[in-house]
Structure 1
Amino acid sequence: MTEPTTTVDDHSAARRRAATTLNTELFRFILVGGFSAIVDFGSTAVFTFLFNFTDGWAKTGGFILGTLTAYLINRRWTFRAEPSVRRFLITMATYGVTFAVQWTLYNKVGLPVLTGWGWEPFWVRFISFVFAQGVATVLNFLIQKFLIFRT
């Protein structure tokens, strides 16, 4: 009986599989993020324009709904991880950090700057949201991929 040998081709195939997995996860994460952003922004807009919440409270409510949507879909579909209370709590703590970043960029940077430029209230909130969400999405992917759902 001969010992199996590892060849350069085996290593190349393993690297290609890892790259494919990363590309698939990144693609799925972006899709889920886009859907969750719609939930987040839609909820924020409803809270702001229909229920007259302050921008801070509206953003908080929208973020919570978008975050829960993202976590549930990413856990099952993007990263294919089993349910775990520990992972859920770590993810929520991570979302707490990214919420602070996103809330600050939305309320303390985007809203005052764009309002100062005289833009319409809807567009001020939309552009502020896109900017803050973009930063939060990159931060979330890095944390989730390399710390929470590392494979």
Structure 2
Amino acid sequence: MSVSPDPSAVSASGAAPGEGAFDRSVPGAPTDGGGTASGENDPAAPRPQLPLSTQLTRFVLTGGLSAVVDYGLLVAGMAFGLGYSAAKAISWVFGTITAYAINSRWTFNSTGRKGAFAAVVVLYLTTFAVQVGTFTLIYPLFEAWWGSGVASFAGFVIAQGLATTVNFIVQRTFIFR
């Protein structure tokens, strides 16, 4: 036995309650398409933060992909005759855009808050300075102890690790909260 909706319950759009994009049974109450005014599918509504372990895993994977983009464009730029500074500047920009595009949505579940990209660029410039500054401070000490090969690798890992940690904490706590 089929039950048809009560004709008096049909909304202004001609759809039964819960069937249209807007349910006029409560005047002015937009719905999520399921008949509720919860706003669950509102793209501008804040999304819940993912667990820390999920965010860390996604952040590392995104960082790896962004590094491939950065390094690949660096090598390609130099192969096409760009100087190493120009090639690095271009590759860094595209690596940063890649990291932002993926991290903002996938890692931090962001809805695209205004100003987030600018904040990330400022953060990346800051962590770039942290990375270069840290390397510059520790490299001479490490070189004296272990030689240039070990010093450059150890200095890179420590400086990159510090910058990445700051980057993750600031993005998770302030930019994509």
Q: Same fold (TM over 0.5)?
A: yes
Structure with greater Cα Rg = 2
Q: Give yes or no for the alignment of 1:43 onto 2:70.
A: no
Structure 1: stretches of 5+ with no match in the other structure: 1-17, 119-123
Q: CA deviation at 1:109?
A: 7.8
Q: CA 1:101 to 1:53, structure 2 compared with 1: closer, same or farther past 3 Å? A: farther
Q: How many residues align?
A: 121
- The alignment status of 1:30 with 2:57, answered yes or no, reads no
Identity of aligned residues (%): 39
Which of the pair has the greater relative contact order for Cα pairs under 8 Å at 6+ separation? 1
Q: 2:120 aligns with which of 79, 83, 91?
A: 91
The whole-number CA distance in structure 2 between the counterparts of 1:58 and 1:104 is: 21
Contact kept in structure 2, 1:37 and 1:133, CA below 8 Å:
no
* In 2, Cα distance between equivalents of 1:44 and 1:99: 17
- Superposed CA deviations along residues 19-44 of structure 1, whole A, max 9, x for unmatched, are x7000001111110111011111222
- 1: CA distance, partners of 2:77 / 2:137: 19
TM-score scaled to structure 1, two decimals?
Answer: 0.63
- Using a 3 Å threshold, how does the CA distance of structure 1 residues 58 and 133 change in structure 2: closer, same or farther? farther
Q: 1:80 aligns with which of 99, 109, 113?
A: 109
Match of 1:138 in 2: 165
Amino acid at match of 2:74: T
Please tell me the root mean square deviation across aligned C-alpha atoms, in Å.
Answer: 3.2
Residues 62-73 of structure 1: pairs in structure 2 closer than 5 A: 62-73=91-102
Report if the CA contact (8 A) 1:63-1:99 is conserved: no
Looking at secondary structure, tell me which structure has more helix per residue. Answer: 1
